[in-house]
Structure 1
Amino acid sequence: MAVPERTADENALDTDSRGRVAELLAIKSQASDGPSARATEAQHAKGKLTARERIDLLLDEGSFNEVEQLRRHRASGFGLEHRRPHTDGVVTGWGTVEGRTVFVYAHDFRIFGGALGEAHATKIHKIMDMALSAGAPVVSLNDGAGARIQEGVLALAGYGGIFQRNTKASGVIPQISVMLGPCAGGAAYSPALTDFVFMVRDTSQMFITGPDVVRAVTGEKITQDGLGGADVHAEKSGVAHFAYDDERACLADVRYLLSLLPANHLEHPPSRMTTDPADRRSEALLDLVPANGRLPYDMRSVIEELVDDGEYLEVHELWATNVLCALARVGGGTVGIVANQPLAYAGVLDARASEKAAAFVQMCDSFNIPLLTLVDVPGFLPGVDQEHGGIIRHGAKLLYAYCNATVPRIQLILRKAYGGAYIVMDSRSIGSDLSYAWPTNEIAVMGAEGAANVIFRKQIADAEDPEGVRARVVKEYKAELMHPYYAAERGLVDDVIDPAGTRGVLVRALAMLRTKHAEPPSRKHGNPPM
């Protein structure tokens, strides 16, 4: 069938249509460009990238799909009716990280200082709902001045909607907050509700009340960084899990973290082929850990010997340093590692270390990440400050987290394991699937010296040679109740293994436990110590 020839008028109309389409698409292109070049220069002058530059670094190249790019606020009054920029100060959408879907929203500080209004919040609500529906992680790139004052209670309600969605998504999809600018007032509660918080030194701060309010109320003078900077939250408050010197290094580690996590709670973490032999022996372990329980060593060196290619991502590296928490791969699969650190307070458990480890164990259990617990613990830290600070409550958090965990759990006792701290560090009695020990292990209620002083107190006091008697009974106690095979003989340790062959033992055990299935108890939810 012949196609009729187009008339000159029809050709002219077609040209007009193409021109109109190009004109309208140009409006969208301008929305992508954002505000003026001057605003971008000001952002760069502060050492900060723009929202879209950050998204480009986070996601795989060319994978970003934007949502509601042309959205504008509908507020009027207080000057807003004359300022209605596209995006309303937040860029939202999805893309991929190493080929896996990730949702993202990024505050654009160049527009209203990244302040949140009704339209701004609605865009965030939408992308969080999409992430939950799709069962994929959500990453927030935070750089905002808080609630948009001109929109009043609508801005506050917008934050409420974010908090509700943070809570609804908790334990269902990974939520990562990346702090790349200020975050003050109620806005700070959203990052606190997420699984991981990243901060950048000198450019990001978090606080409920700023320095001016603090000075007015308490008389204390302090800078924004001194009050809520990256190092403050990474070392003192524990709010930040990671702290970096620049945005590029920060976002690179966000990508690395995402590669270790599953998309949601119904999936297992992604496995990778590794060239690191599963049965690799590590003779260095025989020298890294002194047999003398009083001598310190760096547990990080042990972790490097056990995991694939010596690579791991430490969580809360600068906070509560007497316990280490890290994500790594062993035999190609992701594992969560909890370990006492003998270099810090001899590796004792205190209130902060217990809280840190409890949160990490709970996160791993939420996302089907097997747990490996490396034990070298002399007990809980004694002291009035610890008791008054609630060490019982905080220690119970760690105990609850382990007892509640249904993921594969392996305990490895390197050296000391004393008292209640031994129980809490994922012992067989609280549900560890497998417990291994090195030949240097000492599992007991307390150290031999302390135990002898309690049991044989009267005998030592009445002796003509008390020191000689003390030395003898200490030796007897060690021989009878603290020898390396005592716990194994009673079924509390599955095997006493060669330290150099530990990696092979762990790889085989994790492979066996990969299909573990444990039904959680039927209940609305537990009531953990808070």
Structure 2
Amino acid sequence: MQKKDFDAVVGAIKRAKTRTTAAIRELLRDRDTKAEAAALAGKRLTARGRVSALFDEGTFVEIGALVKRRATEFDSGAAVDSDDFEGVICGYGAVGGRLVYAFAQDYFRSKGAIGEAHARKICSLYDMAIKNGAPIVGIFDSSGAFVFEGVSALAGYGKIMKAVSQASGVIPQIAIIAGTCAGSCAAIASMFDIVILSEQNGKIYTNVTSDKTDLSVVSISVKDEISAIIEAKALLTILPDNNAAGTVRIDGARDASVLVDVSVIEEEGYDAHAVLSAISNNTYHELYANIAPEIICALAPVGSIVSGVVATNPAVKDGALTNEAAIKAARFVTFCDAFNIPVVTLVDSAGLDLENNSTYPHAAALARLASAYAEAECPLVTVVTGRAYGAVYTVLGSKAIGADVAFALDSAKIGAMSAQSAVAFLWDDKFAGAKDPAVRRKELEAEWDERFGNATEAAMKGEIDDVIPSDELLAHIASSLEMLSMKDAGIPTKRRSNLPL
């Protein structure tokens, strides 16, 4: 660094130190006004505008408001601006009356570049959120690392990653992709529980040679950043504050004892969203809709209790369990279990999809799903609404793998294999010489279902708790969730047994 540049840096620092707090506040207000004008021209919100939209009016309190990046030997005089405060806004406030923490990267301050001070502000926010057991929302809009800081900027990424990892499974984390989120920043956002993408300006990617958004990490896509903030606020009303907060209930929920019309399940290739709408009163929040639509994952009130619903969808690939669907469901079940959110599983599937067009090994995908259900300690309620054959029956929340309660509709079919496969492999000799093999085959398939594939057979063996009519679906699920709302996976704590008289 030349002497004139060094003197410029020192002079800027001295001028900043002699300013009064009032002068600094006035400077910040001026910067925000200019940022608002630039944001308006680009049809986007400022970081402060995003924060204001997220929190209840008048409740946001900023922390680390005057933090600035320290000068380094990599800076030139032109690169250091004494008026340029750190490009991230951090603080806390109320969302729907509940404590929430948030950070919003400010593209209009140093383009939201991440450096040492930027990371320190976010990590301090995380410390507060974890200690106080409250959710955190991260609004991403950054050009990347502050390259003049060199390895210090890279260390900043690592510290944020560690903070996010430590909070994972302790407090809910929601990421809003409002602008550019690339490289290591994309990795950080992907570590959050839920990622909401604003399609208007948001981009999340790791490949620096292409800015194509990676939809595989996006939980919810909405048209613009206001919609993203509204979605985040809605999710915060149904998520627990932390992993010890207990069951979340919805005030004013409808009577769960009412009969529901799910007759759509009698139709071939029906859309399972219709069943989800019926049991949630059409108030669910679907996650990962861009990935593996053959299975649906959604947060929904079932009765009055917020639950995670996993439902195979016969409208797509006949509800077959693909590798991608297995991984998607495993991720969702793990998330629900981390925060003790009950999981309701609805099964109607053609079976495993064993096509070799997947980039993920079949056994590994099934293993992840099986592990997610087997290790889950949250309440698990499963209903076989249609077909459940072989491994699909086992891994999708069967009683054997860990479900607390399992029902089947009276039209459900459960077995080691489908009637079509069983007749083809085991009873082929019974229709080979028939006058009309096709007709005889159908008769044998019906016989197989009656003898080996009906839900009553499974109930008699204790693997299904009850066989129920379809219109009582909601009532039975809601009743089970109420019963399990105080579930403790461990042995009840006690001092000693009470001796009989």
Q: Same fold (TM over 0.5)?
A: yes
Contact 1:269–1:368 at 8 Å: present in 2 too? yes
2:363 alignment partner, SS class? helix
2:59 alignment partner, SS class? coil
Which one of the candidate residues 249, 262, 265 is aligned to 1:289? 265
Deviations 1:273-312 (A, max 9, x none): 2241121112x22x3211x6xx1111111111112x3211
Which one of the candidate residues 297, 302, 306 is aligned to 2:279? 306
Letter in 1 for 2:462: G
- 2:250 & 2:27 partners in 1: Cα distance? 40
1:105/1:344 CA distance change after superposition, 3 Å: same
Partner of residue 240, structure 1: 218
1:456/1:272 CA distance change after superposition, 3 Å: closer
Letter in 1 for 2:176: V
Letter in 2 for 1:242: I
Which one of the candidate residues 428, 431, 445 is aligned to 2:402? 431
1:276/1:28 CA distance change after superposition, 3 Å: farther
1:223-234 equivalences in 2 (<5 Å): 224=211, 227-228=212-213, 232-233=214-215
- 2:336 & 2:387 partners in 1: Cα distance? 25
Structure 2 residue 106 is matched with structure 1 residue 108: yes
Partner of residue 374, structure 1: 346
Letter in 2 for 1:511: E
1:252-267 equivalences in 2 (<5 Å): 252-267=230-245
Letter in 2 for 1:139: V
Deviations 1:453-472 (A, max 9, x none): 11123444455654454334
Partner of residue 356, structure 1: 328
1:35 alignment partner, SS class? helix
- 1:275 & 1:410 partners in 2: Cα distance? 20
2:158 alignment partner, SS class? helix
The Cα of 1:38 is off from its aligned counterpart by 4.1
Partner of residue 499, structure 2: none
Structure 2 residue 22 is matched with structure 1 residue 29: no
1:7-46 equivalences in 2 (<5 Å): 24-33=20-29, 35=31, 37-46=33-42
Contact 1:334–1:369 at 8 Å: present in 2 too? yes
- 1:492 & 1:471 partners in 2: Cα distance? 28
Structure 2 residue 383 is matched with structure 1 residue 383: no
Q: CA RMSD in A?
A: 1.9
1:103-252 equivalences in 2 (<5 Å): 103-210=101-208, 213=209, 224=211, 227-228=212-213, 232-233=214-215, 238-252=216-230
Contact 1:32–1:69 at 8 Å: present in 2 too? no
1:468/1:109 CA distance change after superposition, 3 Å: closer
Deviations 1:112-162 (A, max 9, x none): 111012111111111111111111111111111110011111111101100
1:312/1:468 CA distance change after superposition, 3 Å: closer
Deviations 1:373-430 (A, max 9, x none): 01101111022224x6312111211111000100110001111111101111101110
- 1:44 & 1:498 partners in 2: Cα distance? 56
Pick which of 461-470 and 43-52 moved more. Answer: 461-470
Contact 1:183–1:204 at 8 Å: present in 2 too? yes
Partner of residue 55, structure 2: 59
1:91/1:442 CA distance change after superposition, 3 Å: same
1:159/1:439 CA distance change after superposition, 3 Å: same
1:498/1:468 CA distance change after superposition, 3 Å: closer
The Cα of 1:508 is off from its aligned counterpart by 1.4
Q: Which runs of 5+ in 2 are unaligned?
A: 1-18, 492-501
Deviations 1:459-502 (A, max 9, x none): 44455654454334323212211233111111111011121122
- 1:244 & 1:380 partners in 2: Cα distance? 32
- 2:439 & 2:202 partners in 1: Cα distance? 61
Which one of the candidate residues 384, 393, 417 is aligned to 2:364? 393
- 1:141 & 1:36 partners in 2: Cα distance? 17
Structure 2 residue 66 is matched with structure 1 residue 95: no
Letter in 2 for 1:241: S
Letter in 2 for 1:121: A
Partner of residue 249, structure 2: 271
- 1:40 & 1:360 partners in 2: Cα distance? 38
Runs (4 or more) in structure 1 with deviation over 4 Å come to 462-465
Partner of residue 17, structure 1: none
Structure 2 residue 312 is matched with structure 1 residue 344: no
Contact 1:31–1:86 at 8 Å: present in 2 too? no
The Cα of 1:436 is off from its aligned counterpart by 0.8
Partner of residue 482, structure 1: 453
Which one of the candidate residues 295, 313, 316 is aligned to 1:323? 295
- 2:193 & 2:32 partners in 1: Cα distance? 35
The Cα of 1:432 is off from its aligned counterpart by 0.4
- 2:324 & 2:462 partners in 1: Cα distance? 32
TM-score (norm 2): 0.90
- 1:404 & 1:56 partners in 2: Cα distance? 40
1:258/1:406 CA distance change after superposition, 3 Å: same
2:400 alignment partner, SS class? helix
Letter in 1 for 2:219: H
Contact 2:84–2:110 at 8 Å: present in 1 too? no
- 1:469 & 1:485 partners in 2: Cα distance? 25
Structure 2 residue 77 is matched with structure 1 residue 74: no
- 1:73 & 1:484 partners in 2: Cα distance? 66
Deviations 1:35-65 (A, max 9, x none): 2644432222222101111011111111111
Contact 1:31–1:70 at 8 Å: present in 2 too? no
Which one of the candidate residues 461, 469, 474 is aligned to 1:503? 474
The Cα of 1:510 is off from its aligned counterpart by 0.8
The Cα of 1:74 is off from its aligned counterpart by 1.1
Paired residues, number: 471
Deviations 1:309-354 (A, max 9, x none): 3211111122210000010112222100000011111111101111
1:418-457 equivalences in 2 (<5 Å): 418-457=389-428
